[in-house]
Amino acid sequence: MFRTSGKLSDGREILYYDLAPGREVTADERGLPLVESHSEIRYDALLDEWVAIAAHRQTRTFLPPADECPLDPSAPGRLTEIPAPDYEVVVFENRFPSFSGDTGRCEVVCFTSEHAGRFGGLSPQRVRLVVDTLADRTEALSAHPGVEQVFPFENRGEEIGVTLSHPHGQIYGYPFVTPRTRQQLESARRYRDRTRRDLYADLLGKERDSGERVVAENTHWTAFVPEAARWPVEVHLYPHRGVRDLPELDDAERDDLATIWLDVLGRLELFHGRALPYIAAWHQAPVRVDRELARLHLEIFSILRAPGKLKYLAGSESGMGVFVNDTRPEAVAARLRELGA
């Protein structure tokens, strides 16, 4: 992996990640005004959670036509967020960040220069480059004094809320440890205090021993549908070794991750016979606290419960946080295994 850094005309950082050296930085000729984003975080004392207020995001780009996509490479007469005429993987500071300045950092990750492409259609070599990129950005953002947790993710599909169709993901550098992570770590702490064992390792061991919900596995990773899945289609990818974040993965683990990630996405694409809207969410250890309790894993889930039918978060889910799943995890796992045969 070769990283080349540059600046956009409004002062934001842009980073090119390539498989070979020799990248020349192309100047951004748009002459944009300096970015002025005023996100803030407010504390909800009742739930002991932080909420981001980012009113400037109301004006962000929303579903532009293909010939106006800001994530395409620049071309004569059409300048975009990426000044270069072509690229492999690019990361740049979000122009409309949810968190900025002292309240964290938000980055956009473009997986390919092909506007009509998709992450699941990338080559294993390109996915490995994405893995290396996410690991590099995790390490860099973890060194940021205002960041307490690094969260790489991909939103795919308009049903999920994607506003740009170009294949891309994002990385949030949160200025706090997120509620979901705090809840997981507290569960892991209680389990360790009671059993002297690792909760994540035992959950993975239980799934591998049973095999009933395992979707795919290779030397270093296992993909399975969790026993208490919340979403109609949900798959978790766990490394067999208890690493805390993406930078801790070795070369063999990264290679195997690229393979099984594509395998799982391929099965998911076939599940409903149409492009699947999904969220792919990387869970990593916080930067400074409770790292010894955490375990890296990827959660991929979809709100599509049947062709043409979405799982809406209604009264129980939105009002009380109690999920009601319309699909049986064992049946979903069996179907996904069949689709890879």
**Annotated catalytic sites, by residue?**
168
Q: How many CB atoms lie within 10 A of CB 303?
A: 20
Give Cα separations from 89 to 36, 65, 117, 216, 246 (angstroms).
26, 22, 13, 27, 17
User: 295: which 2 tokens?
Assistant: 């375990």
Residue whose entry in the numeric block shows the structure tokens 């993965």: 249
Q: Residue 66 phi/psi, 5° resolution?
A: -55, -35
Q: How many CB atoms lie within 10 A of CB 19?
A: 13
DSSP letter (8 states) at residue 76: T
Residue 251 exposure: Cα atoms within 13 Å on the Cβ side: 1
| Phi-psi map region of 240: left, alpha, beta (phi>0 left; psi -120 to 50 alpha) | alpha
The Cα–Cα gap between 65 and 84 comes to 20
Q: Which amino acid is at 93?
A: E
Q: Which residues contact 230 (CB under 8 A, 6 or more apart)?
A: 301, 323, 325
156 closest CA partner among 48, 301, 15: 301
Alpha helices in the chain (DSSP H): 124-142, 179-195, 199-210, 251-271, 329-339
* 19 and 88 Cβ atoms separated by less than 8 Å: yes
* 160 and 278 Cβ atoms separated by less than 8 Å: yes
150 closest CA partner among 116, 194, 181: 181
* 124 and 260 Cβ atoms separated by less than 8 Å: no
Q: Helix 179-195 vs helix 199-210: angle between axes, to the nearest 10 degrees?
A: 80
DSSP letter (8 states) at residue 177: -
